[in-house]
Amino acid sequence: MPNLLFLGSNSAGIRAFATARRLGHRSTLVVPLLPGSDPFMLGGGWSVEELRRLPDGPDEVVEAPGLDDDLYQLAADLHARTPFDAVLTTADEAAEYANEAALRLGLPANDRTAMHTACFKHLCRARLDEAGLPNARTAVARTRSAVPQVAAGIGFPCVVKPARSSGKEGVAILAGPSDALGYAGGSDGPAGPWLIEEYLNGELYSAEVLCLDGTAHLLGVTHRRRDALNPLLEAAAVFPAELDADQHAAVRLFVTELFGALRLSVGVFHVEYIHTARGPILVEVNARMMGGSAPLSFLRVTGTDPYELLIDALLSPASVRLPDVATGGSVAFVLGARRAGSAPADAEQGLARLAGRFDFLHQRHSIRNGEPIRGMVSNVTAVGGYCNYAESSAAAFAAYLEFTRGAEQVLGMPLVSP
């Protein structure tokens, strides 16, 4: 029986354990015991006891005493007991650790430098420049106080972001010098270095990519529709994106060149790009597969379980079947308040009545009658996540908009939407 070691998981990735079981594999989940929030269980917030009780969860949950050598030693000890056939993760923060553990155990993995590059935005930019590929103009500020000067060199508007951010933490659009000064004086988000990038105009997409034996295959493209007022907020991920033949050709070339430059060889990756007037330009490589409800959209539309692709890419690359053409379309979207407010006394009943008119693949919200609703400033401050399916991407998008307009009525407040 193939034996899988998962280092951490994101909350959606909990479904990967059901996939492993369906395929007849054994799975062990390692979660490091870290003070405060646990980056290996991003968005999950589960205790080890809850993880052990999950009906379709891993066969075994093991706590690691820490990161780095503690983690690798634990992986080696577990491997000595029952040898693993693959090490994997769905958690962004754990991607490099899982790759390193696989390398140390002699299991399928990416080159160490390639993985490290993919995990850091400034290293990706440098790699693209070295390879002579289309890229955003970027400069690095080593300290927060250097941001205004570096930003002035790039020109306004520009985007500032920590080299290793996720969920938009610490990402900001700087419209002019005063924004840059404000950012330099702040303290939100992860530590630096900070990238300052030219502001790319165009629509935001993600390419879902499967790497097998060093060859990158484009699994599909998602149109990431952003909020009409704040382009840093992603409101709705439409899969598959409605692209014309030229756009398709451009994204295929982009993915081939990008993965050639990065030298990633195995796994499933979630690459964000903006389709500018000069073609697709990278926003960020995520060294892990799609997150949130996207795997549900992908499964419903392609009939292929993306967790199975991830597992098979590592265990049996020769037998991987690429997904068939899409049937219908799906939107994975958030419920997010444009401004903080409070929920009406009957908000929960109103939302339930509204949702009853739709056939969601997934729905979850944290709104409580009469309680405060926080404003959405990043992915992690959304107050709900939903996923739908319809006969086409356009129909799924129309249904999404109808639900969102209805939710605005129920809640009496404007919601994040394109």
Query: Which span sits near ligand ATP by CB under 6 A: 3-11, 79-87, 226-234, 382-390?
Result: 226-234
Tokens of residue 350, six digits = 């109103």
Report the residue number, 98 or 311, with the smaller CB distance to ligand ATP: 98
Q: What distances in angstroms separate CA 396 from CA 329, 337, 386, 387, 390, one per listed residue?
A: 6, 21, 12, 9, 5
Site for ligand ATP in 372-391 (CB under 6 A): 379
Q: Which of 15, 125, 144, 161 binds ligand ATP (CB under 6 A)?
A: 161
Question: Among residues 83 and 155, whose Cβ is nearest to ligand ATP?
Answer: 155
| Residue 358 binds which of ligand ATP, Mg ion, none (CB < 5-8 A, kind-dependent) | none
Considering only CA atoms, which of 289, 218, 223 is closest in space to residue 257?
Answer: 218
Q: Which of 15, 168, 225, 365 binds ligand ATP (CB under 6 A)?
A: 168
H-assigned helices in 132-244: 147-154, 177-185
Binding to ligand ATP in span 183-222, by CB under 6 A? 197, 199-200, 204
User: How many residues make contact with ligand ATP (CB under 6 A)?
Assistant: 21
* 51-70: contacts with ligand ATP (CB under 6 A): none
Pick the stretch among 25-33, 122-130, 147-155, 158-166 that binds ligand ATP (CB under 6 A). Answer: 158-166
Number of residues that bind Mg ion (CB under 5 A): 2
Position 285, amino acid: V
Q: How far apart are CA 208 and CA 217, in angstroms?
A: 9
Tokens of 402: 């109808």
- For position 169 contacting Mg ion by CB under 5 A, the verdict is no
Question: Using an 8 Å Cβ cutoff, are 336 and 411 in contact?
Answer: no
Query: Interface with ligand ATP includes 236 (CB under 6 A)?
Result: no
Q: Does 272 bind Mg ion (CB under 5 A)?
A: yes
Nearest partner of 94 among 142, 44, 38, 148, judged by Cα: 38
- Could you give the C-alpha distances from 299 to 90, 241, 309, in angstroms and in order? 16, 15, 11
> Is there binding between residue 288 and ligand ATP (CB under 6 A)?
no
Beta bridge pairs of residue 3: 26
Q: In this structure, are residues 123 and 324 in contact, taking their beta carbons and an 8 Å threshold? A: no
Rule CB under 6 A: which of 90-129 touch ligand ATP? none
Provide the minimum distance between the beta carbon of 157 and Mg ion in the complex, in angstroms, as a whole number. 18
Q: Which is nearer to Mg ion, 25 or 168 (CB)?
A: 168
Rounded Cα gap, residues 262 and 114, in angstroms: 6
Residues in CB range of 356: below 8 A, 6 or more apart: none
Q: Which residues bind ligand ATP (CB under 6 A)?
A: 136, 159, 161, 165-169, 171, 197, 199-200, 204, 226, 231-232, 272, 274, 283-284, 379
